[in-house]
Amino acid sequence: MRAILIPAKIGRYEVEGKLGQGAMGEVFRAHDPVLDRDVAVKRISAGLDADDTVRKRFEREARSAANLNHPNIITVYELGVEGEQLFMAMELLNGIDLKLALSQRKMTLEDKLDVTEQICEGLAFAHAHDVVHRDLKPANIHLLPGDKVKIMDFGLARMSGSDMTSTGTVMGTPHYMSPEQVRGARADSRSDVFSLGCVLYELLTGRKPFDAESMHAVLFKVLQEEPPPVLSLAPGLAPVLAQVVDKALAKDPAERFQSAGHMLGALRRARQAAAAGRGHERAADLDRTIAAPAARHPPKAVERTTSSRSGSRPAAADGSRRAVLIGLGVALVAVAGGTWALRAWVLSRPIATPPPPAVQSLAAAVIDSQVELARRRLDTGDYAEAARQAERALKLDPAHAEARAVADEAAAGLARIRTALAALRQAGSGTASAGAALELMKIDPRNAEAEAAATGAGASFRPRAEEARRLAEEARSAAEARGGARAPAFADGVALQRLGEQSLKAGQAVTAAQRFLEARARFERALGAR
């Protein structure tokens, strides 16, 4: 057996011992002689440092956490390189993770709700800074002595405008993944809300909301079934607290809390109501419609999701579930740290025997979700991703009219980008370049060449940022005037507009223009959804 070698130093940090090892990295206890403090140093496991995807994930974890200075998020001090090996120095945490606490400790209801509020506070701060965790679970929540929460492992985090996972691959932990993650959609703050709802459900009931003997069956439950009612497993709980869990676990992201901050406010109001003896009264703002997700005409085998909430067994047998998943061609592959990758594919050979009705219905649901996602990407100006999502739907159903319409519109958008990009390349420098960069940004706010040209334009780009600001304000006014202010996209636009103002005030004209133009796209989407 090969001996485990512990380095004497990593960077400037003097290693004192090994704290643990996962599939992706090793963590050491070390001392920082410069600042005279103990730290945790994490580095990529030997042999994985050459894997570009692993390196990017490791860098993303460091950068995402380093951009978030909050009491409930682990502090990253440094991302460094020693030779060819990346390492990360971060806050050394005492205590245990929530996964271990759930199995080893008795927590009072107040303790559980206090922990949940702290998770909400940390996530709300991350969401306000355009960072989505995407892999929230008890193992990534650390409890310090006194039950102070630290959210860890931002290795799957996505910062606004980027996505590290490859097309057709979804990353996450199945028991805590949101339905949109399972379908392959890009996760936003509402996906973290769903994961937090799973954690809160487990805290209150002692059981995972979606559990089964196989990961395929778990994913089917996440997509198609409601968990057993919280009150059936925790009958003494105030019903208004169960409402908070139910809303967080809505299959449709539009029916959930729209951010961790919204969930935090609802949880605090529910606790106050319970403390005042009004916990049995239902809160109207926490009600949601419970329905089977996606399918327009769900078959009897999978339509009884409402009955499952009253404790009855769902109608679909295990064999039918397996048939559905096999019919869709779904594979699970284990990756680092208990995270799983879900990859779906379409069989190229024609099938002589038509699939059973349950498979046909779930396939239709998948197509509908892909088209909906493509339409959303189109609304935000992400034409390339809209085209990819539409093509996925067309592979499943080449005659799908809406998918074809989205694909054509996305192609037209990409053509406009190519035209604007050609104009930018011919514009030279100075004022002409700044104007051409803004025209491209209007179509594709995060275009790398437009950003580079705008940055190179220096102070001459400031008036262009002001123009982007005006466009955002005009789009907001139009949405408000025509009843679009209630749409979730409108709230996103307001947040982006606020960030644009902050960037402009800080003299960051390029970033401000990007934010304003992204806000304009959200307002226009809200206008279309009125």
Burial label, 343 (beta-carbon count in 10 A; 0-12, 13-18, 19+): middle
| DSSP secondary structure string for all residues of 180-221 | HHHHTPPP-HHHHHHHHHHHHHHHHHSS-SS--SSHHHHHHH
Alpha carbon distance 101, 168 (integer Å): 35
Which residues fall within 8 angstroms of residue 51, CB to CB, at 6 or more apart? none
Edge-first strand listing for the sheet containing 13-21: 9-10, 13-21, 25-32, 37-44, 85-91, 76-82
User: What tokens were used for 266?
Assistant: 């609802």
8 A C-beta contact, residue 286 and residue 270: yes
Cβ atoms < 10 Å from Cβ of 381: 24
- For the question of residue 135 being annotated catalytic, the response is yes
8 A C-beta contact, residue 273 and residue 267: no
Displacement of CA 384 from its chain's centroid (Å): 20
130: part of which helix (H) or strand (E)? none
Tell me the torsion sign for CA atoms 399, 400, 401, 403.
negative
8 A C-beta contact, residue 432 and residue 419: no
Which residues fall within 8 angstroms of residue 111, CB to CB, at 6 or more apart? 147
Tell me which of 32, 49, 97, 135 is the catalytic residue.
135
Pick from 296, 266, 309: nearest CA to 362: 296
* H-helix segments, 225-315: 230-233, 239-248, 260-275, 305-308
Q: What are phi and psi of 106, to 5 degrees?
A: -100, 125
Active site residues: 135
